[in-house]
A and B are shown apart, each in its own frame.
Chain A
Amino acid sequence: ILNVEQSPQSLHVQEGDSTNFTCSFPSSNFYALHWYRWETAKSPEALFVMTLNGDEKKKGRISATLNTKEGYSYLYIKGSQPEDSATYLCASKSNFGNEKLTFGTGTRLTIIP
Chain B
Amino acid sequence: EAQVTQNPRYLITVTGKKLTVTCSQNMNHEYMSWYRQDPGLGLRQIYYSMNVEVTDKGDVPEGYKVSRKEKRNFPLILESPSPNQTSLYFCASIGAGLSEAFFGQGTRLTVV
Give the B-binding residues of A (Cβ under 8 A): 4, 32, 34, 36, 42-46, 49, 51, 89, 91, 98-106
Contact = CB atoms under 8 A, between A and B. Distances in A.
Contact of A89 (B43, B45, B99): B43
A99 B42 contact: no
A102 B96 CA distance: 16
Interface string B76-101: 00000000000000101011101111
A101 B94 contact: yes
| B: interface residue count bin | 20 to 34
Tell me whether chain B's interface is mostly helix, strand or loop, or mixed: strand
B106 A43 contact: yes
Contacts of A103: 35, 42-44
Given A98-B31, A99-B31, A49 B98 contact: yes
Contact of B104 (A43, A104, A105): A43
Most A CB within 10 A of own CB, among B90, B94, B100: B100
A105 B31 contact: no
Nearest to A41: B106
B42 A43 contact: no
B62 to A, nearest CB: 18
Contacts of A106: 42
